[in-house]
Amino acid sequence: MPPLTDRKWSDAGGAATASLPATGTRPGAHAGRGSQDGLGKTERTDAWWLVPVSQAIGLVVLIGYANYAAILGAAHHEYTGAGRNYLSPFYSPYIRPAWLPGWLSPALLILIFPLGFRATCYYYRKAYYRVFFADPVACAVGEARSKGYCGELKFPFVLQNLHRYFLYAALAFLVVLWWDVIKAFTFHDSQGAAQFGVGGGSLAILASTGLLTLYTFSCHSLRHLIGGKLDCFSCVAAGGPRLQAWRGVSALNGHHMGFAWWSLAAVCFADLYVRMCSMGVFHDPILMTIHAFDMPLSPFGP
Ligand code: FES
State percent of the chain over pLDDT 70.
83
Report yes or no on 236 lying in a domain: no
Q: Which atom of ligand 1 is nearest to the CA of 222?
A: 2
Digit-coded pLDDT (tens) for 12-21: 444 555 566 6
Q: Which atom of ligand 1 is nearest to the CA of 122?
A: 3
Average pLDDT over all residues of the chain: 87
Q: Which atom of ligand 1 is nearest to the CA of 121?
A: 1
Domain count, the chain: 1
Report yes or no on 268 lying in a domain: yes
Q: Which domain holds residue 276?
A: 24-218+255-293
In the chain the first and final C-alpha atoms are separated, in Å, by: 70
- Cβ of residue 219 lying under 6 Å from some atom of ligand 1: yes
Work out the pLDDT band at 189, boundaries 50, 70, 90: confident
Residue having the nearest C-alpha atom to atom 2 of ligand 1: 219
Digit-coded pLDDT (tens) for 170-183: 999 999 999 999 99
State percent of the chain over pLDDT 90.
62
Q: Dihedral, CA atoms, 252, 254, 258, 261, nearest 10 degrees?
A: 80
Residue 67 to residue 290: CA distance in whole angstroms: 37
- Cβ of residue 121 lying under 6 Å from some atom of ligand 1: yes
Bigger pLDDT: 276 vs 155: 276
| Number of residues in the chain | 302
Report yes or no on 243 lying in a domain: no
Digit-coded pLDDT (tens) for 82-106: 899 999 999 999 999 999 999 999 9
CA–centroid distance, 141 to ligand 1, in Å, is 26
- Mean pLDDT of all residues in 247-266: 97
Q: CB 103: neighbour CB atoms within 10 A?
A: 6
Report yes or no on 299 lying in a domain: no
Report yes or no on 175 lying in a domain: yes
The pTM assigned to this predicted structure is: 0.84
Report yes or no on 202 lying in a domain: yes
Work out the pLDDT band at 212, boundaries 50, 70, 90: very high
Report yes or no on 248 lying in a domain: no
pLDDT at 300 over 50: no
pLDDT at 294 over 60: no
